Amino acid sequence: MSDTSFDDAPLLGPLARVLDQGRGDDSRAALSRLHDRLAADAASSGLLDVAYRTLDTPVGTLLLAATDQGVVRIAFDVEGHDAVLDRIARTVSPRVLRSPARLDRLATEIDEYFAGERRTFDLPLDLTMATGPFRREVLSHLRDIGYGRTASYAQVALAAGSPRAVRAVGTACARNPLPLVVPCHRVVRSDGSSGSYAGGPEAKRLLLALEHAA
């Protein structure tokens, strides 16, 4: 497919979703082959800025996305994967395409985490979607909360150098673009209750129970 033109590269994201909607085994297989060739040509031509795939997990189907710099987004079903992809296209690059190969390592590490075989993630991260210096400061401290441990929003605010910014810490956790890898699920209320979570309260309770049982 070396003669393929990518003049319409900004349409790669919507095209990927159209391809994903093929019906019938034969048409899905043909579309999958076409999609794989398109993704390979886009990558080799330097026109694939953001690769994505989905992954089934105990907390639902996750959307995984990565740039050349690292993992840029992990999103839960309840966030609306199409809406997340559209936001990636607006804030990172419109050249977004389903390309699982770039995300194989992340998918494997997440599977190992849920199997109880992994406690930390060893992947480069792209924090493009984490806007604002304080929000990034909060995210940097979240990675210091060890597996199976928790910290209160107040404790994270203190660690980030703004002890009164408890609400801002809550906002940073709620808008964390990289849940699981940057473990905002380990931040709880001062009374020990789990608090809110982008993936929903049940997902947060499941993650905490998984880690505490290990």
Is 173 designated active site?
no
Distances (CA, A) of 93 to 3, 11, 68: 24, 11, 12
Classify 56 as helix, strand or coil: strand
Catalytic residue among 103, 159, 181, 184: 184
Strand residues in 36-189 grouped as ranges (E): 50-57, 60-66, 71-75, 96-98, 151-152, 187-188
Phi–psi pair at 119, nearest 5 degrees = -115, -20
Name the DSSP class of 182. S
Buried b (16+ CB within 10 A) or exposed e, 74-92: bbbeebebeebbbbbbeeb
Classify 133 as helix, strand or coil: helix
Cα distance between residue 32 and residue 19, in whole Å = 7
- What is the set of active-site residues? 184
